[in-house]
Structure 1
């Protein structure tokens, strides 16, 4: 019916991540049948506390067909007639991404993706779910997922549960000194052989993430002052809207992407041309999960890579805003750059270098 790992993960999701209480409504969305055991475990535990689960199981190939054929009218009707009224009744949301092909939506056009993002994802998820529910989203392990991570299926499954069931309370405490420093910081600089970029975060809010919204988790994020970003940055491999990128390089002037290079420039240009905000940055974050060390073409894992940062193209988050609005939100990850706060080196490559921050290094976080 479900494994012990599924049951343990379900318990953490419900008690730590979304903190579901008796009598509350929760939507459990599963895209793909691969995670049906986890869905069953969640439904069982929700009912045990007299909660009300609303189960939505979706087929990735059907979703791709709807994405390819959907237009503004279709997605607006889907949001207004079904998902938005239901989401407004939810106290919590758990989204499980169990598709076995991360490139399933690679053929979807720019216009179709924009219609879906603008008229469905934005109102249903960014505006309603993100701002008005306790929510968590996660991937689910599969053989295909293991291939992207270049691991055997068995080894990847263990890695997955290790990363997801990590001691987030220990991480929460270890983040406090970095959070304090960042609230006192004006300029942040990332610098390496292929990256040299600077921006201001003066007066911005910082949000520590320790298993409450994304699983696996482990980041501390805010957003840069909109027009303060200047320099060039090189990112690790990424997949966005089903399209693979082996690398992405951006040149930025006064907060706007002015030049770019990648392994897929036609697709990158389409994404950047989505709207005005797509060439600006809506988030900056530190990746802090000590279990996750290499990119694996999955942003829920890659954005948490220890010793990484993501400087995100597109929409900001209402919880840490900078005024950028866009139909996209692309968490591109830069791994191993030196990090300077107002000129002081606080991370040398992938390891924090000051005494107050060394508790965030993997050997400290994983010490029993």
Structure 2
């Protein structure tokens, strides 16, 4: 049975996120079977407007077997014979992550993960899908997802739809004053528990994200000047390639991680050693979704937490580049640090201070709706 809210979510994806048009092809990729109701809603709405949906439904346990046994030759063949040719024919892409167990691939060896990233993920998704389709990626609620969020399943499901079905036009407008300030700024400083870090953003572009690439959404991102990051930063819990981290701490000098600590030091060491760019940063962002308040080991939600920032290890984005290239792109989130722009305090903890930015504080965002 399809939740009625799936049709509202599908409508947002079709009309707002991908702006799907008659005659266009859309690839709907479902990982896990839990989100089949949303797939049905997407297919129904796509056909109603005369678009052509293609389905790719993946069993997470089978995918784990492929990840564990795949090598460079296997993934190159998969990319060249199926992945890239199919993606080249698509106008739009929707990725629904509906696995019941986010740790399904946590034991995949690092060498195998790198083969998948380099020879399949990079050419199929980063080079083709991201650059040449109208794409949107999202999660889907489940009891396991609710458990990570430490919420009852029914309460989490309501929270999920509230976060995903936000008024994105209102959020876009609410972020505009912050965007204007950031475009004029030179130095950003984050200062909080375990964190005192500075970075420069002179002349960098800023991207206002309001439901066109991720759902839920609510972030304003750019990238730091590559050699400008200095200090230390402590991040909230995170998961990367199925491996959980209760915390991550980094010490940075002239844009390069020089020291680190984590709940899983060995795994962090391996990620940092992936390539030259994995010890540098490719993105800096403000999280602004007023519904999302706490981390839940899921980056598509956690990077949107209001009163947060993420300073991302690895690959930059073409929309706001800084020249850092890497197979890694890990959105690590710092929650509740004070934020200074060129010495002016603009956010105290999780609440914006200047009058023109207070609309981003949750109580004010929802006031008068």
TM-score range, shorter chain: over 0.9
Rounded to whole Å, the distance in 2 between the matches of 1:169 and 1:365 is 12
Partners of 2:221 and 2:239 in 1: how far apart? 21
Structure-1 residue corresponding to 2:134: 134
Query: Partner of 1:308 in structure 2?
Result: 308
1:74-223 → structure 2 map (5 Å cutoff): 74-223=74-223
How far apart are 1:267 and its partner, in Å? 0.6
Q: CA deviation at 1:122?
A: 1.0
Following TM superposition, by how much is the alpha carbon of 1:193 offset from its aligned partner in structure 2, in angstroms? 2.5
Query: Deviations along 1:248-286, whole A, 9 cap, x unmatched?
Result: 000001100000001000111011111111111000000
The answer for the alignment partner of 1:348 in structure 2 is 348
TM-score w.r.t. length of structure 2: 0.99
Q: Distance in 2 between matches of 1:33 and 1:161?
A: 19
SS where residue 34 of structure 1 aligns? Answer: coil
TM-score (norm 1): 0.99
- What's the counterpart of residue 320 of structure 1? 320
The separation in 2 between residues aligned to 1:138 and 1:76, in whole angstroms, is 26
**Is the 8 Å Cα contact of residues 201 and 223 (structure 2) preserved in structure 1?**
yes
| 1:283 and 2:283 are equivalent in the alignment | yes
Structure 2 residue matching 1:173: 3-state secondary structure: helix
Distance 1:336 1:158 in 2: 25
Q: In 2, distance between residues paired with 1:306 and 1:46?
A: 33
User: Aligned runs of 1:225-244 on 2, under 5 Å?
Assistant: 225-244=225-244
Question: Deviations along 1:25-80, whole A, 9 cap, x unmatched?
Answer: 10000000000111011011101111010100000001111111111111111111
Q: Residue 16 of structure 2 aligns with which residue?
A: 16
Q: 1:76 & 1:197 partners in 2: Cα distance?
A: 40
Q: 1:40 maps to which residue? A: 40
- Compute the displacement of 1:89 (Å): 1.1
Which residue is 2:248 aligned to?
Answer: 248
Q: CA RMSD in A?
A: 0.7
Distance 2:271 2:109 in 1: 10
Q: Which runs of 4 or more aligned residues in structure 1 lie more than 2 Å from their structure 2 counterparts after TM superposition?
A: none
Q: Which residue of 2 aligns with 1:338?
A: 338
Task: Please state whether the residue corresponding to 1:135 is helix, strand or coil.
Answer: strand
Distance 1:366 1:139 in 2: 24
Mean CA deviation greater in 122-131 or 22-31: 122-131
Deviation by residue 1:186-225 (Cα, 9 ceiling, x = unmatched): 1100001210000111111100000111000000000000
Mapped partners of 1:17, 1:244: distance in 2: 30
- Output the CA distance in 1 between the equivalents of 2:206 and 2:122: 23
Q: Secondary structure at the match of 2:293?
A: coil
Measured in 2, the distance between the counterparts of 1:16 and 1:365 equals 21
Q: Could you say which residue in structure 2 is the equivalent of 1:7?
A: 7
Gaps of 5+ in 2: none
Work out the CA distance in 2 between the residues paired with 1:217 and 1:117: 25
The SS at the match of 1:227 is: coil
Unpaired runs of at least 5, structure 1: none
Cα distance in 1 for residues equivalent to 2:36 and 2:114: 30
| 1:365 Cα deviation from its structure 2 partner | 1.4
In 1: Cα distance, 2:67 partner to 2:232 partner: 33
Secondary structure, counterpart of 1:123 in structure 2: helix
Q: In structure 2, what is the Cα distance between the partners aligned to 1:2 and 1:158?
A: 15
- Equivalent position SS for 1:33: coil
Instruction: Verify: 1:73 aligned to 2:73, yes or no.
Output: yes
Shift of 1:83: 1.0
Aligned to 2:61: 61
